[in-house]
Structure 1
């Protein structure tokens, strides 16, 4: 499969899974710089687009939506990748935009994202440098036992997310946050209940569970 075929299938797959502003943003925002990164950097390095998410929506410290150029493996690695042109990000940036960008990157670090940026000029004219540096970063996420690592980081992120929400967490919250189905989300929450880190909240006198609440043991687990 050529790059053009693989990239077209990659974007179409994400378009098919999105609605509303998330879909519109992918249609509008996946431009020349992002495509050049995919062609010159990611495709030669990885040979596929598995676990790569274009125009990935996250919230900033104000609760406002922000679309990153790419996020790799958001359920585990949480590597956020930006391609920055000199004009937009340097010469045309005023003080307020500069402050907002720094605040956003600090907030994302607090949410366990690792933010890395590549200059457009390097992506276009010096891709070998970008490939070398990106390979170094990605090597940190290799694991001999990836399944165990995934479970640990899923538990960690759920506990962090529950703390961030400051309210009982619902399966729909987890399903949306991790882009997984409802059954898998419930499985994660039940596993954390078994560990004593969450406790279920039942509806009335019935057995239906609507919410899960963070316990003191969960707060003291060292994952928050």
Structure 2
């Protein structure tokens, strides 16, 4: 079965399990960069999408909600995966957004999450390096 068929089925399952803001976020947040990560990095590294949840909702340290680009939860492991584009995560970020992003990451770690971040450029231009990093992490 092709990646595209597996991806469509996987995404459909997650969409049927969601409602409200969580469903809206999945429809809007799972875009080009996230799909490229799955197609160029995750799927070639592991040949499946099982255990991986897109736009995963978590409680935030200020009693709100936030979304991880991906969460991998399996065998007691909680891995947060973030895909960062340069423009939206660096070039056009305000000082407040920059500080908030760092504090969010700190709280994820304090809450027991492992965290891996990938730039869009590395996913696009160095997918094998990203695959190897994930494989190394998984052991």
On whether the aligned pair clears a TM of 0.5, the verdict is: yes
Once the two structures are superposed, residues 111-169 of structure 1 have per-residue CA deviations (whole angstroms, 9 ceiling, x without a partner) of: 10111100100101110110111111111xxxxxxxxxxxxxxxxxxxxxxxxxxxxxx
Task: Pick the structure with more strand per residue.
Answer: 2
CA distance in structure 2 between the aligned counterparts of 1:63 and 1:32, rounded to whole angstroms: 30
The alpha-carbon deviation at position 75 of structure 1 amounts to: 6.8
Once the two structures are superposed, residues 147-195 of structure 1 have per-residue CA deviations (whole angstroms, 9 ceiling, x without a partner) of: xxxxxxxxxxxxxxxxxxxxxxxxxxxxxxxxxxxxxxxxxxxxxxxxx
Structure 1 residues 50-65: aligned runs within 5 Å? 50-65=50-65
The alpha-carbon deviation at position 24 of structure 1 amounts to: 1.0
Matched with 1:131 is: 131
CA distance in structure 2 between the aligned counterparts of 1:107 and 1:55, rounded to whole angstroms: 18
Secondary structure at the counterpart of residue 49 of structure 2: coil
1:95 aligns with 2:87: no
TM-score by length of 2: 0.97
Structure 1 residues 15-94: aligned runs within 5 Å? 15-73=15-73, 76-94=76-94
Query: Which consecutive residues of structure 2, in runs of 5 or more, have no partner in the other structure?
Result: none
Aligned length: 139
CA distance in structure 2 between the aligned counterparts of 1:6 and 1:110, rounded to whole angstroms: 34
Q: Which protein shows a greater Rg?
A: 1
The alpha-carbon deviation at position 74 of structure 1 amounts to: 6.1
Kept after mapping to 2: 8 A contact 1:84/1:119: yes
Kept after mapping to 2: 8 A contact 1:79/1:115: yes
Kept after mapping to 2: 8 A contact 1:61/1:103: no
CA distance in structure 1 between the aligned counterparts of 2:58 and 2:74, rounded to whole angstroms: 10
CA-based RMSD of the aligned residues comes to: 1.0
Query: Which consecutive residues of structure 1, in runs of 5 or more, have no partner in the other structure?
Result: 140-224
TM-score by length of 1: 0.61
Matched with 1:214 is: none
